Amino acid sequence: MSKFLSNLYSSLEAYTPGEQPKDKAYIKLNTNESPFPPSPEVVKAINDDVINDLNLYPDPEVSMLRTAIAERFGVNKENIFVGNGSDDVIAFSVMAFCGRGGRLACPDITYGFYPVYAQLFGVELTEVPLKEDFTVSIDHYKNFECPVIIANPNAPTGLMLSLTEVEALINQNLDRLVIMDEAYMDFGKASAAELTKKYSNLIVIQTFSKSRSLAGLRVGFAVANEEIIRDLETMRFSFNPYNINSLTLRAASAAIKDKAYYDDCIDKIIENREETKITLKEMGFKVLDSKSNFIFASHPDLSAKNLYEELKNRGILVRYFGKERIKDFVRITVGSKEQMQKVTEEIKNILKG
Ligand SMILES: *Cc1c(COP(=O)(O)O)cnc(C)c1O
């Protein structure tokens, strides 16, 4: 730390992304990316015309992409906010609706970026414990008047609240904001996006990084009522109105329109997920009922840290958190059929000792 860093940030603990080692070719099942390439339409969209126009600033209104996303969700462009990854969207939301002296509530076991943003923006965070079985109990949020953020399906558990439960959470207090982080919802198929037409205290956030095979492009978005979107736009125009570059604009617009391609990828992942759950259970694992593109599992005879290390030695990366309550678990991203066969085969070998 240099002597110039503001005191505000002297104790800031930055987010630790999943490792992306380059020492050898790994089977990457540690950061929930898609094993499939993006839609062929994405490749076509990044054409010479777009590249030749890179001397110009991109459209700060992000109109083309907002319109394309709005069409998909049956809402207006004014109901869509776009960010450089959904992390960007979450950051703007925490900044706008909790910032400096405000408060935020989220589960104790969830996406690791929420506490970091809370700290960065001077927000007091309350971590609400998940139940013993790792599910979210909406009853625990009844008395919170501050904004609530919940990943649904939750990470790293993969467990999902039903749409009925989400609507009940929203209805607990219509003067309180509920932020649903639906990074994995395409694999759970119970999005609350439709509810944004009915409730003005709801923000639904999704990403192109997981189900849409575009983690490297960096795009995420929010669906909400017009006033909320205008507030987020005020934040964005006060920070970086050009957070979506011209290539991203084109590529992501093409991706969101190719529903057929992605539906097919999503179905394959769900099939692989369900098969892998069964295989792991047969091997004696405790497997949470994931509705996402990863599986959270623990084994009574195998330390999770050991399993993580053994798999890494064998060229397979999974995620190990080593955090209280979940230190017996590894999180395995659901990849292609071949990748899942390979990982379960190696786990069998490790179990044999
Ligand atoms: C991966 C993930 C994100 C961030 O995704 P980006 O769009 O790549 O920034 C947000 N929330 C959760 C719960 C995630 O797992």
What confidence category does residue 332 fall into, taking pLDDT thresholds of 50, 70 and 90?
Answer: very high
Where do we find the tokens 């999902």?
160
CATH number 3.90.1150.10 is the correct assignment for the domain at 17-37+260-352: yes
| Helices 259-282 and 246-257: angle between axes, nearest 10 degrees | 80
Amino acid (1-letter code) at residue 307:
L
pLDDT number for residue 67: 98
Does 158 score more than 90 pLDDT?
Answer: yes
| Helices 337-352 and 259-282: angle between axes, nearest 10 degrees | 20
Q: How many whole angstroms from 163 Cα to the centroid of ligand 1?
A: 20
Does 21 score more than 90 pLDDT?
Answer: no
24 compared with 257, residue with greater pLDDT: 257
CATH of 40-257, one of 3.90.25.10, 3.40.640.10, 1.10.3210.10, 2.40.170.20: 3.40.640.10
Q: Domain boundaries in the chain?
A: 17-37+260-352, 40-257
Structural tokens at position 309: 């290390």
**By alpha-carbon position, which residue is closest to atom 2 of ligand 1?**
183
Q: Which of 335, 344, 289, 347 is nearest to 133 (CA)?
A: 289
What confidence category does residue 6 fall into, taking pLDDT thresholds of 50, 70 and 90?
Answer: very high
Distance of CA 209 to the CA centre of its chain: 8
What confidence category does residue 353 fall into, taking pLDDT thresholds of 50, 70 and 90?
Answer: confident
pLDDT, one tens digit per residue, over 132-144 is 999 999 999 999 9
Structural tokens at position 10: 């002297």
Does 99 score more than 90 pLDDT?
Answer: no
Does 19 score more than 90 pLDDT?
Answer: no
Q: How many whole angstroms from 107 Cα to the centroid of ligand 1?
A: 16
For residues 38 and 195, give the distance between their C-alpha atoms in angstroms, rounded to a whole number.
Answer: 29
* Whether 273 contacts 211, CB under 8 Å: no
Evaluate if pTM is beyond 0.95: yes
pLDDT, one tens digit per residue, over 271-294 is 999 999 999 999 999 999 999 999
Tell which atom from ligand 1 comes closest to the C-alpha of 215: 8
Q: How many whole angstroms from 115 Cα to the centroid of ligand 1?
A: 14
Does 24 score more than 90 pLDDT?
Answer: no
Does 68 score more than 90 pLDDT?
Answer: yes
Average pLDDT over every residue of 163-168: 98
**By alpha-carbon position, which residue is closest to atom 1 of ligand 1?**
183
Structural tokens at position 231: 């507030």
What share of the chain in percent tops pLDDT 90?
Answer: 96
pLDDT number for residue 160: 98
Question: Which residues on adjacent β-strands are paired with residue 297?
Answer: 287, 330
Average pLDDT over every residue of 292-308: 97
Q: How many whole angstroms from 187 Cα to the centroid of ligand 1?
A: 14
pLDDT number for residue 350: 96
Does 268 score more than 90 pLDDT?
Answer: yes
Mean pLDDT score of the chain? 97
* Whether 210 contacts 183, CB under 8 Å: yes
Tell which atom from ligand 1 comes closest to the C-alpha of 151: 13
For residues 192 and 199, give the distance between their C-alpha atoms in angstroms, rounded to a whole number.
Answer: 10
pLDDT number for residue 20: 84
For residues 71 and 92, give the distance between their C-alpha atoms in angstroms, rounded to a whole number.
Answer: 23
Q: How many whole angstroms from 301 Cα to the centroid of ligand 1?
A: 32
Query: Can you give the length of the chain in residues?
Result: 353
Best residue for ligand 1 mutational test, from 86, 109, 321 (most atoms within 8 Å of Cβ): 86
